[in-house]
Amino acid sequence: MQKKTNIQSALKRKYPEQVVLVTSARPEGGANVMAVGWVTIASGDPLMFAMGIDDEAYTYELIGKSREFVVAFPCEDMAAAVLCAGSRHGRGINKIAACSLKTAPATQVAAPLLEDAVANFECVLAEVYRPGDCPIVIGKVVAAHENTNPAVRRLYTVAPGHKLAGVAPRQD
């Protein structure tokens, strides 16, 4: 059964919701990281991710310059780092260091992998769409990496107010 409600009330029922960390390379060296909640697979062949990233975000600027990035699916132990990356702006600070993230070199792009993530996807910029107030960045996956520990649980936003928790996949 359904009842008519307002949009804000209905949005409270959308959880759990994905959260990813996106790394991008700085032109002068080093990297930036940002938490992104609006992300989905946009194509299966070739594999592409679509992400909503605000025009004013430093990550959006860096992706525009380098035309590449990494989409990292954080594990539950990375909750504090996700909140850190999502609550600070990258201009003028090293968010990777500030958020205590461990990185590893990627194989196809300059942006780093996040070592503790469940999975990392190296992407090249395919397109930017502007359907409304937030640009949608489309990245084509050119390499993928997964955590060697299959028991590591994915981190999701599970409730309003940036409440995060680990979710394990079904073992069918």
> What is the CATH classification number for the domain harbouring 121?
2.30.110.10
Q: 172: pLDDT confidence band, cut at 50, 70 and 90?
A: low
**What token pair was written down for 58?**
């430093």
**What token pair was written down for 14?**
């959308």
Count of helices and strands (H, E) across the chain:
4, 12
Structural domain contains residue 83: yes
Structural domain contains residue 88: yes
Using one digit for the tens of pLDDT, what is the confidence trace for 24-49? 999 988 999 999 999 999 999 999 99
Using one digit for the tens of pLDDT, what is the confidence trace for 82-100? 999 998 887 889 999 999 9
Whether the predicted pLDDT of 162 surpasses 90: no
Structural domain contains residue 61: yes
Whether the predicted pLDDT of 171 surpasses 80: no
Structural domain contains residue 108: yes
Structural domain contains residue 1: no
Structural domain contains residue 7: no
The average confidence (pLDDT) of the chain is: 93
> ∠161-15-138 over CA atoms, to 5°?
95
> ∠39-43-45 over CA atoms, to 5°?
145
**What token pair was written down for 123?**
């992407």
Other CB atoms closer than 10 Å to residue 82's CB: what's the count? 25
Structural domain contains residue 12: no
> What range does the domain containing 126 cover?
19-167
- Cα(55)–Cα(8) distance, rounded to whole angstroms? 23
Percentage of the chain modeled with pLDDT above 70: 97
Which residues pair with residue 47 across a beta bridge? 44
Structural domain contains residue 6: no
Whether the predicted pLDDT of 169 surpasses 70: no
Q: What is the DSSP letter of 147?
A: -
Q: In this predicted model, which residue has the larger pLDDT, 66 or 170?
A: 66
Q: What is the pLDDT of residue 148?
A: 95
Number of domains in the chain: 1
Which residues pair with residue 119 across a beta bridge? 73, 146
